[in-house]
Amino acid sequence: MIGRRAFIAATCALALAGPAHAQSYPARVIKLVVPFTPGSPNDVMARLLTQHLSPRLGQPIIIDNKPGGGTSIGTKLAAAAEPDGYTLLFISSAIVIDPAMKQIAYDPLKDFAPIATVNTTAWLIAVSPSLPVKTMAEFVSYSKAHPGTINFAATQGTAAILVAERFKQLSAADLFIIPYKGGAAALPDFLGGRIQVLNPTPSTSLPLIRDGKMRALLITSPTRSPELPDVPTAREVGLPDLTLEFWAGVLAPAGTPPEIVGKLNAAINDTLRSPEMKDAMTKLGMDAKIGSPQDYAKFIADEIPRWTAIVKSTGIKAQ
């Protein structure tokens, strides 16, 4: 009888520990795993978010860049972390693409607790100003007239290389797509003339476009970007199936207490609604995406079949 009473008491204590722990959360530094290279669009967005989120949580948030494996290295690390709210993951569309492209050691639906979506943005198809083209039609014609001479750099194992391959497929341009570990790694080769085409996001390319070092021929968003009003959409240049958006959000390891997930969701949404955050995101060509943890969970589940179809269509597999 004593043993049974002790077990019941211990169980009750554990049940009460969750809410009590959540009330004191966060009590120390939070680590945000970013499975992308420093300077990449996701890294830029993660740093912007933590800059404004940290004061709302009352604790520092440190960025832990863990690139490699097309985001699988950092994602696996975050999945295996203690589910206490002190290790989080900043992830993009990669979480729904990975299962279709390669063998992974985690389940995007079962191994994570969705916290909040953060932003959406789009890709650009951008060329070197050294190419004598100013429109998409001119670029496609030029590529066919100069076969085997156009190199297109895209980040391997991520949505970026799928967008590149899908663009090649839909436009029938004569391109040689070269996988890179990250967009930042490809930029020196682009500026040096060894790469002629990139598909960056506005967040990392606006200064180069404004300085005349990069020429954007289309954007994959449904509508034109206020920051790039002269750049037509994929639909406008006759490639409606290339209307694709890039998104990012925050996940926690599965088993993270719902109270902590809720507290983080509220803080992130409050951050995204703030005027200073809205202004900073607009300048980067990004739009806030606000919702509940349940909204994010459904969104992830809906995105998996969509990107799986694109993987099958292009035939791309992770390298």
Which tens digits make up the pLDDT trace of 21-54? 667 999 999 999 999 889 887 899 999 999 999 9
Backbone angles phi, psi at 220, to 5 degrees: -85, 5
Q: For the chain, where are the alpha helices, taking DSSP H only?
A: 2-24, 41-57, 72-79, 94-101, 136-145, 159-171, 183-191, 202-210, 258-273, 275-283, 293-314
Kindly tell me if the per-residue pLDDT of 93 is higher than 90.
no
The tokens describing 55, both together, are: 């004061």
For 223-230, what is the mean pLDDT? 92
> 299-319 pLDDT, tens per residue?
999 989 988 999 998 888 765
Residue pLDDT, tens place only, 70-82: 788 999 999 999 9
Q: Is the peptide bond before 240 cis (omega within 30 degrees of 0)?
A: no
0.85 surpassed by pTM: no
Separation between Cα atoms, residue 129 and residue 196, nearest integer Å: 9
Q: DSSP states of 263-311 as a string?
A: HHHHHHHHHHHSHHHHHHHHHTT-EE----HHHHHHHHHHHHHHHHHHH
Q: Is the pLDDT of residue 3 over 70?
A: no
| pLDDT of amino acid 20 | 54
Provide CB contacts within 8 A for 308, sequence distance 6+. Answer: 99, 100
**Distance from the Cα of residue 201 to its chain's centroid:** 10
d(CA 135, CA 158) in angstroms, rounded, equals: 27
Judged against a pLDDT cut of 60, whether residue 6 lies above it is answered with no
Q: Quick one: pLDDT at residue 17?
A: 47
Residue 225 and residue 267: Cα distance in Å, rounded?
A: 27
DSSP 182-207: -HHHHHHHHHTTS--EE---HHHHHH
Tell me if 27 sits within 8 A of 59, measured CB to CB: yes
Is 115 strand, coil or helix? strand
φ, ψ dihedrals at 251, nearest 5°:
-120, 160
Q: What is the rounded average pLDDT for all residues in the chain? A: 90
Q: How many residues does the chain have?
A: 319
Residues 6 or more apart whose CB falls under 8 angstroms from that of 279 comprise none
Share of the chain above pLDDT 70, in %: 92
24-33, 132-141, 223-232: range with lowest mean pLDDT: 223-232
- Decide if pLDDT at 112 tops 70: yes
Q: Is the pLDDT assigned to residue 253 strictly greater than 60? A: yes
Q: Is the dihedral of CA 237, 176, 68, 98 positive or negative?
A: positive
Place of tokens 């968003």: 221
pLDDT tens, 167-194?
A: 999 999 999 999 987 777 899 999 999 9
* Domains within the chain, CATH numbers bracketed: 28-121+246-314 (3.40.190.150), 124-242 (3.40.190.10)
- Cβ neighbours, 10 Å, residue 212: 8
Residues 6 or more apart whose CB falls under 8 angstroms from that of 165 comprise 154, 177, 314, 315, 316
74-78, 193-197, 225-229: least confidently modelled range: 225-229
**pLDDT value, residue 19:** 58
Q: In angstroms, how far is the first alpha carbon of the chain from the final one?
A: 60
pLDDT of residue 173: 97
User: Cα Rg for the chain, rounded, in angstroms?
Assistant: 22
What crossing angle do the helices spanning 258-273 and 293-314 adopt, rounded to 10°? 80
Tell me: pLDDT of 11 over 50. no
Q: Which of 14-18, 32-36, 206-210, 287-291 has the weakest average pLDDT?
A: 14-18
